[in-house]
Structure 1
Amino acid sequence: MTAPTINGSAYPRPLDDLMPAARQVPVRDGELVPSRRRLMADLKIGNDKAAAIRDRLISEAEENAKTQAYRDLSAKDAEARALRTVADDTAPDSTVTPNPPDRGDRQTAEQSTQVRTVEEADDTNPAPQPTPVGHPGAPTPPAAGKPVRPVAAWPVVLLALPAFVAVWSGWVGLGGLTGFGVVHPLPGIWDSFQINTAITLPIGVETYGAYALYVWLSGRVPDRARRFAKWSAIASLLVGAAGQVAYHLLVAPPDGAPWWITTAVSVLPVAVLGMGAALAHLVREDH
């Protein structure tokens, strides 16, 4: 004959029917839920069912702990709001506003109220008062409504113009020494039209270097494009400096200045052009 279960029936009860009795099983000190053996002994059930009931009890205990923590947090938040309300009600009103504040002022006031903490409401130390205007130790207030004049960029462009002319003439001269010269790009169509291909050197090197420098310093492009602009601008300036050095060493008279002085002087226009282009861009930036 089959032994009766905890409810006096010979048929095993489902887990849902066993849960009320399982919640009444005593728990030892330091345990969150009863042990599996304790459930087996008190409820007269098998090992598998005791393990399933214990898992449910653990889930219920965790949910109860979360619910209690949420309730505690809500209670603390309500207490903090009550303290802020008391602090706002007891604070003296030093000014009277004849007209109601607009929407922006109400939003600013709400944000200021939200950022206050309970510690600020309980703090009894008075806040330091600002030094009155006109006091010897008071800072000088800025002039109201006086706009800040931006720095003009045209002097930088004017100063870099002679350097650009020197670089241009150096590249044209180097192009003439290396085979660049006058060509007729439209024969049979416009025979009188001619162009000196030496101008492609300063346009291709120095103009690109100035634009790549602008892209690098602008910060308005993706990181990959900015890195490419950075290194290509540096490479263009270095190539431009090397081209100027090569041209002046080729055309310098034998009894002229030493080569290292010629090199230093030849690099100066390129350096001034690069720094002028960078400075002209930076002074136009808003930030």
Structure 2
Amino acid sequence: MTATTTSAYPKPVEELIPAARALADKLGEVPSRNRLMRELRVGSPKATALREVLTVADASPVAPTDPVPVDVPPVPPADPVPADATTGSNSEQEIALPVERPEPLAPVVVDGHPVSKVTTEAVPAVRKPMRSWVLLLLAAPAFVAIWSGWVGLGGLTGFGVVHPLPGIWDSLSLNTAITLPIGVEAYAAYALRAWLSGDGVPRRARRFAAWSAIGSLLLGAAGQVAYHLMESAGITSAPWQITTLVACLPVAVLGMGAALAHLLHTDES
């Protein structure tokens, strides 16, 4: 049996580097730690040190004349940096910069009360409501003339004094001619208010109120004209055409008033 002879004086790592480099050139790669221990007959610490030396030497730039190892794949070139790649850090730095904030404005005092919110929008002018006594002054003479005209026209078309409760209250009498001014003119005012009241009125109700108000006013004007023409001509009994039209007025006013009230209470816009 032959014993393996070893040197009594082990070589240091510096003397073993050429042999390790020659082994790496022969293999075409950095040998493993076990391969270094077996080929160079060294221990594990020296094999590890030699492998680190070869790894560092292999990572250093190779001269153009040195052959390229076959087993090492070529390293692909790095992607070019986009032109705007460096702007990202600058933009981030700009965003990170502190922004000077304007000092808060002092609250504006309106009518003795501070107002914190200030807007540049134009403030709508507040209009004062019209005096109602002007309308009463205008309506008083018109009411007298319209009332007398309708009552007179009712007398010419068959409206007159009736006893509404015969056998119960025989002394109670009522001139039915007053139903004409009360019904026609009251509905005209009611329809005008529904037409011009604002956005709270449904669209269908406003349209119906507009047409019926205009029709009621025109019908009232026509009734006044008819009465004064017959009165000035000395006619004591109206023609049947006028009598028929006037007799239908209470029924028409009742229907238009009920229809408008129904449309005003609907949810349709």
One fold, TM greater than 0.5? no
Q: TM-score, normalising length from structure 1?
A: 0.40
Q: TM-score, normalising length from structure 2?
A: 0.43
Richer in helix (by share): 1
